[in-house]
Structure 1
Amino acid sequence: MNPEQIPQLLKQVSYADPRILPEDRQELQGLAALWAGVLTDVPAEFAMWAVGQHYAESPFPIKPSDIASRWRAHVRDRMNRHTGTLEPTRYPELDPDDVAGFMHTLRAERHAVIMGRAEPTPLKAITGADAVPDEVQERLDRIGRYMPDHARETLAQYRPVRAARERLIRTGQPDPLAVPCPWCGAAIDQACRGRRVTPGRDPESKRQGIRAPHPSRLDAARTAA
């Protein structure tokens, strides 16, 4: 906004709060200069809209910082939804080697998005085809895996419990380690434990890990599934 636009904005505010307009002309000029300095980057139409929004939500008098804060939030929201990729189909005349021209176009596009003359451009999908090719789908299915399949198979002999769980999951069977064991009390993700009871000793001190889950744990996993 410029100083010439501020009096109209203050008049808009005075409809909700008449105290905003001082009677002295010099005070009014000083107030307008102050508001113009704070709102120098805010479009006049947005400032008018922000006044209405403020008094629809708050009973307190509006300050120029309230309008400026709303404008910054508006800019941040639109730019967070804009990728700004400068697609060649939209800018066929743009030369990738022309750095100055690229930056000028980028700034112009962002300014248009901020001012509402253009809508934010969201990030497009990895492919625009109706059907994803098998090779691409296979790669997508592997995204996020910490370990490739060949490495997993090599390490299976050193991780028998983990390998057994993965085999069950791949074949669609319930994972017994996903539930606690009702027989030995093993917690989730822990292997079942054998119980050796010695007279005069705490049976808990003699529990040892075993590889095969107890039958009751298998039943509990099937029930949970």
Structure 2
Amino acid sequence: MDRRETAALLAYIGRLDPRTIRTDQGEARDQLAQWHELLENVPPTTPHGWDARTIVREHYSVSPYPILPADIGRPWAKYKSDRLNRHTDPTPSADPDDQAAWTAELVLRRRAVATGQVQPTEYRQLSRGRTQPRTPSVPQQLGSCIPQEVRAALAPWRTARAAHEAAVARGDLDVLAVPCEKCGATVGRLCRIRRIDRGGFPRDNRPIAEPHQCRLELAAAQDGRQPSAV
């Protein structure tokens, strides 16, 4: 701010805090010279969000002490830093082979952003809106992530799963499309039975090829077929 703008700011401060008013002409001149030297690089206002008078009002709303030039210079430095932290340099329009022009355009843009002349250029954030209706069908269109040749190679070690996949491929009822109420198997999981050790205590669960009858009936009801073994 120039000397006239500094004088106007001091007059505004004097209205809020008469303690800062200097009645002696020499003291007033020294006060103006001091504030102007310390705040010469601080503008009174910017087009985007900075007003030195607002800083003065906020100071006196929370502090009983007279305001100092640092109480205005510190928020100005934070204002510039916050804006630059939110700024992402757009690609300059200058020729990339002209390093001086390229750098000069970046510097001018950053200076304009820092001093509140233009708004920061920020990355666009991901939308939090609803997904498109076609999005849920994409996994079904892609199919299984396990290639067919790998499924064939694993078949001897996953006989129950292989039997189910073969039945579905033949057009039989897909029993795994519904959960099982008896063993708690979720959709896509084989039914399980509890194994008992020699002492008569439950040890663990193991998958079985044949689904429980309640699951078979539920799948048939949803598919509109008569229940039959898989």
Task: Provide TM-score, normalisation by structure 2.
Answer: 0.50
1:120 maps to what in 2? 120
Bigger mean CA offset, 50-59 vs 97-106: 50-59
Identity %: 34
Q: C-alpha separation between the residues in 1 aligned to 2:123 and 2:10?
A: 40
Per the TM alignment, residue 60 of structure 1 is displaced from its structure 2 partner at its CA by 2.0
1:99 maps to what in 2? 99
Per the TM alignment, residue 110 of structure 1 is displaced from its structure 2 partner at its CA by 1.2
- The answer to whether the aligner puts 1:81 opposite 2:86 as a matched pair is yes
Per the TM alignment, residue 3 of structure 1 is displaced from its structure 2 partner at its CA by 2.2
Q: Which amino acid aligns with 1:63?
A: L
1:16 maps to what in 2? 16
How many residues are matched?
A: 129
Give the secondary structure class of the aligned counterpart of 2:31. Answer: helix
Deviations 1:40-69 (A, max 9, x none): 211012322211222233232111000000
1:69 maps to what in 2? 74
Q: How does 1:169-180 map to 2 (within 5 A)?
A: none
- Larger Rg: 1 or 2? 2
Q: C-alpha separation between the residues in 1 aligned to 2:96 and 2:61?
A: 47
Per the TM alignment, residue 124 of structure 1 is displaced from its structure 2 partner at its CA by 4.8
Q: 1:17 to 1:125 in 2, by over 3 A?
A: closer
Q: Which amino acid aligns with 1:102?
A: W
Unaligned stretches of 5+ residues in structure 1? 135-170, 173-214, 217-225
Q: C-alpha separation between the residues in 2 aligned to 1:95 and 1:56?
A: 51
Q: C-alpha separation between the residues in 2 aligned to 1:109 and 1:47?
A: 23
Runs of 4+ aligned structure 1 residues displaced above 4 Å come to: none
Q: Which amino acid aligns with 1:94?
A: A
User: Is residue 44–residue 52 contact of structure 2 (8 Å, CA) maintained in 1?
Assistant: yes
Task: Provide TM-score, normalisation by structure 1.
Answer: 0.51
Q: Which amino acid aligns with 1:4?
A: R
- The answer to whether the aligner puts 1:48 opposite 2:31 as a matched pair is no
Q: C-alpha separation between the residues in 1 aligned to 2:123 and 2:99?
A: 23
Q: 1:27 to 1:99 in 2, by over 3 A?
A: same
